[in-house]
Structure 1
Amino acid sequence: MSTSKKVCVFCSASDRVDAAYKTAAQTLGSLIGQRNHSLVWGGGKVGLMGEVARSAQSAGATLFGVIPESMQDIEIAYTDADQLVVTQTMRERKALMDSEADAFIILPGGIGTLEELTEIMVLRYLKYHDRPIILINTNNFYDPFIKLMQHYVDEKFAKPKHMNLFTVVDTPAQALDLL
Structure 2
Amino acid sequence: MPLAVCVFCSSSAKIDRRYVDLAAEVGDELARRGHSLVSGGGRVSCMGAVARAARAGGARTVGVIPEGLADVELSDEDSDELVVTPDMRTRKGEMDRRSDAFLVLPGGIGTLEELFEIWTARTLGMHDKAVVILDPTGVYEPLRELMKGLTEQGFARPKIWDAIGWTASVSEAFDLLERSQPKIGMSFEDYAEAEL
Q: Specify the TM-score bucket, using the shorter chain as the normaliser.
A: over 0.9
Q: What residue number does 2:170 align with?
A: 172
Supply the RMSD in Å over aligned alpha carbons: 0.8
TM-score between the two structures when normalised by the length of structure 2:
0.88
SS at match of 2:128: coil
Structure 2 unmatched runs, 5+: 179-196
Amino acid at match of 2:168: D
Identity %: 44
Give the Cα–Cα distance (whole angstroms) in 2 for the partners of residues 164 and 150 of structure 1: 13
TM-score between the two structures when normalised by the length of structure 1:
0.97
Instruction: Indicate yes or no: 2:132 matched with 1:131.
Output: no
| From 7, 24, 46, the counterpart of 1:9 | 7
State the 1:138 CA deviation: 2.4
Q: What residue number does 2:71 align with?
A: 73
Amino acid at match of 2:47: M
SS at match of 2:132: strand
Q: 1:173 to 1:107 in 2, by over 3 A?
A: same
What do residues 88-138 of structure 1 show as CA deviations (whole Å, max 9, x unaligned)? Answer: 010000000001111000000000000000000111122110111000012
Q: Number of aligned residue pairs: give it.
A: 177
Give the Cα–Cα distance (whole angstroms) in 2 for the partners of residues 18 and 173 of structure 1: 22
Whether the 8 Å contact between 1:67 and 1:86 is mirrored in structure 2 is yes
What do residues 132-167 of structure 1 show as CA deviations (whole Å, max 9, x unaligned)? Answer: 100001211110111111011011001112122211
| From 52, 55, 58, the counterpart of 2:56 | 58
Amino acid at match of 1:42: G
Runs of 4+ in 1 over 6 A off after TM superposition: none
SS at match of 2:137: helix
What do residues 58-117 of structure 1 show as CA deviations (whole Å, max 9, x unaligned)? Answer: 011100110000000110000010000000010000000001111000000000000000
Amino acid at match of 1:12: S
Give the Cα–Cα distance (whole angstroms) in 1 for the partners of residues 4 and 45 of structure 2: 21
Give the Cα–Cα distance (whole angstroms) in 1 for the partners of residues 10 and 20 of structure 2: 10
